Amino acid sequence: MGSRASGELDAARRRRRTGTAIKESLRELSIQLSLLNHQVGARLNLKDVDLDCLELINRHGAMSPSALARRAGLHPATMTGILDRLERGGWIARDRATDDRRAVIVRSLRDRNAELYRLYGGMNSAMDRICAGYTEDQLDLLADFLRRATEAGNDATGDLAG
């Protein structure tokens, strides 16, 4: 085998190893973020799924319980218990939709968000320190990679749910 073919083979192996290392790191990150969320939820007396749903409402704004159930990949009956817990805890409110009084819209109550920010403060500070070590171009590349990885995860979730 020529040196060029050997070099290409080595490059392909290194690329596969790097790809595998990235996927392993993403799985480990997922585990660590899940453990962090579990600790935050425990401090707030919320189940992991409650915290996930609260985050969806905070990120995407007010929505119907059925829209939230679809976004979270949960059965609508399961969503009722989650919303009951979030409402009892003062995290969300259920309002009548203005265009259809029979419909309900779930919205976040921002009063308690300071508690969330405080509990995630250590991780946010650590991320700020990590990002400070990268150039603007590197951060753009990382942001693009994470956005695309998130889209891939969303697609894979949709495929399994669908």
* pLDDT tens for the 162 residues of the chain, in order: 567 778 888 999 999 999 999 999 999 999 999 999 999 999 999 999 999 999 999 999 999 999 999 989 899 999 999 999 999 999 999 998 888 778 899 999 988 888 999 999 999 999 999 999 999 999 999 999 999 999 999 899 888 877
Calculate the CA 142 to chain-centre distance: 16
Axis-axis angle for helices 48-60, 76-88 (nearest 10): 90
Closest CA to 68 of 94, 44, 42: 94
Contacts of 120 (CB under 8 A, 6+ apart): 36, 40
Pull the structure tokens for residue 22.
């990235």
Q: Where are the domains of the chain?
A: 1-44, 45-111, 120-162
Q: Which fold has domain 45-111?
A: Arc Repressor Mutant, subunit A (1.10.10)
Please state, in angstroms and rounded to a whole number, the distance separating the CA atoms of residues 28 and 23: 9
Pull the structure tokens for residue 119.
């509990």
pTM above 0.75, yes or no: yes
**Looking up tokens 């973020």, which residue turns up?**
33
Pull the structure tokens for residue 160.
């399994």
